[in-house]
Amino acid sequence: MTACASGETIDGGGNSPVGGNGGDGGSGGTGGSTGSCGTDCTQIATPACQVGQCNEQTGQCEVVADADGASCDDGLFCSVNDACSGGQCVGGPQNDCSLTPDECEAITCDEQSQSCASASVPNGSGCISTDLCQTNATCTNGLCIGQEKDCFFSPVPNECYNSVCNPQNGECEPVVNPGARGDPCAGSGDLCMGNKACDNAGACRGGTPKDCTHLTVG
């Protein structure tokens, strides 16, 4: 019996019905159904995203489009996860060669050399700085640079502190100002003490009692 190929009919062998007793195709191959074609049409060599199947009405093998989304290979190095669409193999996302670009870099793929490289994105492209104290950051010559967050008006315990942005969380936090040691401060606590000054720990201490002797009573 002659195997059924795309566009060909079966030699039934005299008056034997098409397919006979199942032919030789059903016992081989990968378990495909022979149907009335008498052979496993799925074994036909087909282009990517095309599959062979048996047309039960004609008794002939035919080639049809594979299901959309079926995996395929378009033969290009620079595309991955290719998939069938409308019977054609469509390239997937760009191959990044497992490289991880910096914030202001992009991965490029070269089909001829079958390799990847990183390159700076255009200046002015938006980016997210790893320093959370940088706002409105953009890429400049491959670096992500932004404006420093202004913490000037953020609350502090007293004049012995500065408000400084924490790059880990982007929050303005009070930090002892070492340059303020000995500087006069008002602080809080005993309001009858004057001439206070900042100490090393950021406390407003010391001073002298206010002179109230000049007040007259009654």
The domain limits of the chain are: 1-67, 96-148, 161-209
Two tokens at 20? Answer: 């006979």
Higher pLDDT, 210 or 92: 92
Percent of the chain exceeding pLDDT 70 equals 81
Gap between the Cα atoms of 177 and 198, Å rounded: 9
The model's pLDDT over 125-140, given as tens digits with 9 standing for 90+, comes to 999 988 999 999 999 9
Residue 180 has a CB neighbour count (10 Å cut-off) of: 20
Q: How far apart are CA 183 and CA 159, in angstroms?
A: 9
> Residue 130's closest CA among 144, 118, 140, 113?
144
pTM: 0.50
Q: Does position 1 have pLDDT exceeding 50, yes or no?
A: no
pLDDT of residue 18: 36
Q: How far apart are CA 48 and CA 137, in angstroms?
A: 46
What phi, psi does 37 have (nearest 5°)? -75, -15
Is the Cα torsion angle 101, 105, 109, 112 positive or negative in sign?
Answer: negative
pLDDT digits (tens, 9 = 90+) for 139-194: 999 999 999 999 999 999 999 999 999 998 999 999 999 999 999 988 766 777 77
Answer with the residue of higher pLDDT: 126 or 210.
126
- Alpha carbons within 13 A on the beta-carbon side of 162: 9
pLDDT at 101: 93
